[in-house]
């Protein structure tokens, strides 16, 4: 019993001494928040929701690393954002850029974001569907269920199948692939 206590104390000391724990402004809140172990942090920034969400699903910043967000939210990149002009006012862009960088995968304590951070240590994908972890999670879904599905079209439309995507929940038990009943719940 005494050994377990010492091990717990040592683990706590190491965790507190780590840079990432010290960088977390709400570390104690995180420590007692047991939902930290799942999913990704939902979007809670009004400008981000309005600007990004007006054209597509407002992807949670925890789905990509900061180096990806830096590339995506560059003024020149936004002028040709996947074939669209997504230019933003400088103040709005700064607000969105700062929000994405502060909540990027490697800065998150959410479990799925941590996995994405590990999968992108050496990469800076511009699309969430290019993240190795995301590819692996979707590898067994037949193309006809996505590209051949008029209600899905592409894996980029997370919320087409992930019924709680806006809440940052991407668990298998919340998947419902349109036109393929019960497929998401096997």
Cβ-contact 124, 71 below 8 angstroms: yes
Answer whether residue 21 shows pLDDT above 50.
no
Q: Residue holding tokens 């809670």? A: 44
Angle of helix 90-102 versus helix 46-53 axis, rounded to 10: 110
The predicted model scores a pTM of 0.78
Q: Which letter, b or e, does each residue of 45-68 get, where b requires 16 or more Cβ atoms within 10 Å of its Cβ?
A: bebbeebbeeeebbbbbbbbbbbb
Would you give the distance in Å from CA 121 to the centre of its chain?
A: 15
pLDDT in tens, 117-154: 999 999 999 999 999 999 999 999 999 999 989 999 99
Helices (H), 120-170: 132-138, 158-161
């Amino acid at each position: 019993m005494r050994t377990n206590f010492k091990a717990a104390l040592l683990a706590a000391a190491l965790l507190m001494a780590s840079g990432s724990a010290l960088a977390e402004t709400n570390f104690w809140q995180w420590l007692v928040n047991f939902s930290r172990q799942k999913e990704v942090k939902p979007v809670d920034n009004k400008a981000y929701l309005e600007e990004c969400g007006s054209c597509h699903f407002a992807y949670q910043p925890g789905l990509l690393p900061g180096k990806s967000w830096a590339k995506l939210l560059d003024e020149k990149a936004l002028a040709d954002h996947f074939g669209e002009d997504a230019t933003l006012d400088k103040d709005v862009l700064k607000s969105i850029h700062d929000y994405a960088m502060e909540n990027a995968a490697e800065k998150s304590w959410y479990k799925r974001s941590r996995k994405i951070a590990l999968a992108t240590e050496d990469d800076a994908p511009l699309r969430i569907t290019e993240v190795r972890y995301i590819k692996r999670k979707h590898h067994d879904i037949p193309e006809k269920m996505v590209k051949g599905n008029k209600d899905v079209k592409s894996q980029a439309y997370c919320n087409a199948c992930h019924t709680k995507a806006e809440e940052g929940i991407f668990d298998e038990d919340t998947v419902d692939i349109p036109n393929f009943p019960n497929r998401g719940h096997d």
